[in-house]
């Protein structure tokens, strides 16, 4: 199932940013998403965004997304 990536226009500086929220289209259509906090990476303002504020984009295929940096890898001890 393809996922949607949720973007918003910052209410403070007006620049578009990726909220890092992903969900499938069905969940987005059914969800209320009344008020969520998102921190703008451009100006650092944290504001609330509702469903109407979101722009949906198709999420990139998994292979194009680099894994998020994690802590020390848990390597199995042999
Ligand atoms: Zn901003």
Q: How many angstroms separate the CA atoms of 8 and 77, rounded?
A: 44
8 C-alpha to ligand 1 centroid (Å)? 10
Q: What is the pLDDT of residue 59?
A: 83
> How far is the first Cα of the chain from the last one, in angstroms, to the nearest whole number?
37
Mean pLDDT to the nearest integer, 43-56: 97
pLDDT at 1 over 60: yes
Predicted confidence (pLDDT) at residue 32 exceeds the cutoff of 80: yes
Residue 57 CA, ligand 1 centroid: distance in Å: 19
Residue 17 · residue 69 · CB < 8 Å: no
> Is the model's pLDDT at 76 over the cut of 60?
yes
Q: What is the mean pLDDT of residues 37-53?
A: 97
Distance 49 CA to ligand 1 centre (A): 13
Give me the residue spans of the domains in the chain.
3-57
Q: How far apart are CA 73 and CA 19, in angstroms?
A: 26
Please write the tens of the pLDDT for every residue from 4-28. 999 999 999 999 999 999 999 999 9
């Amino acid at each position: 199932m393809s996922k949607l990536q949720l973007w918003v226009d910052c209410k403070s500086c007006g620049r578009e940013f990726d909220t890092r929220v992903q969900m499938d289209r069905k969940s987005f259509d059914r969800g209320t998403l009344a008020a969520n906090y998102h921190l703008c990476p451009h100006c650092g303002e944290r504001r609330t965004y509702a469903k109407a504020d979101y722009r949906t984009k198709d999420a990139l295929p998994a292979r194009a997304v680099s894994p998020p940096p994690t802590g020390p890898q848990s390597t199995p001890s042999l």
